[in-house]
Structure 1
Amino acid sequence: MHEELVEDKLKTHDKRLNNHADRLDKLEQSDAKKEVQITNLIKSIDTLIMILKIFITMFGGSIVGFFFYAIQNHIF
C-alpha cells in the first residue's frame, strides 16, 4: 500500500514537472517574440524622433526666413 502511494505521488510530481517544463518553454518563446517586437518598436520610435527633429528644424528655419522677409519688405 505504501509503495503504491509513493508511486502515485511520483507520477503526480512527474506530470507537474513536465507541465511546468512545457509552460516554461511557452514563456521563453513568448519572451523572444516580445523582445523582437520591442526592438522593432524602438526602431520605429527612433525614426519618428528623427522626423520630428527635421520638421522642428524646418519650422524654425521658416520662422527665421519669414522675419528676414518681413524686415526686408518693411512689414515690421
Structure 2
Amino acid sequence: MVLRRMDQLKPIMSGAIRGTLTQSEFYQRNRDRKNVLVYRRNIEEYLTERGKEHRVGRFRRAFKLRRAAREA
C-alpha cells in the first residue's frame, strides 16, 4: 500500500517482471517509504500494540526531523 502511494509499486513490479530490478534499486525505492505518513502511523500503531508507547514520541520526532531535512 505504501509503495503504491509513493508511485513506486509499478516501477518495482515492472522491473521484477522484466528481470531488470537490481537489489540496490529495490532497496532505494523501498527505503523512501520511511518518509510517508502512512508508514509513520503504521509503526506508531505497531509500537502501541506491543506495549512500547514510550517509543512513539521519539519515533515521531525522528520522522519529522527526517522529513524536514529532506525538504530543506
Higher helix content, 1 or 2 = 1
Larger radius of gyration: 1
Higher relative contact order (CA 8 A, sep 6+): 2
TM-score (norm 1): 0.27
TM-score (norm 2): 0.28
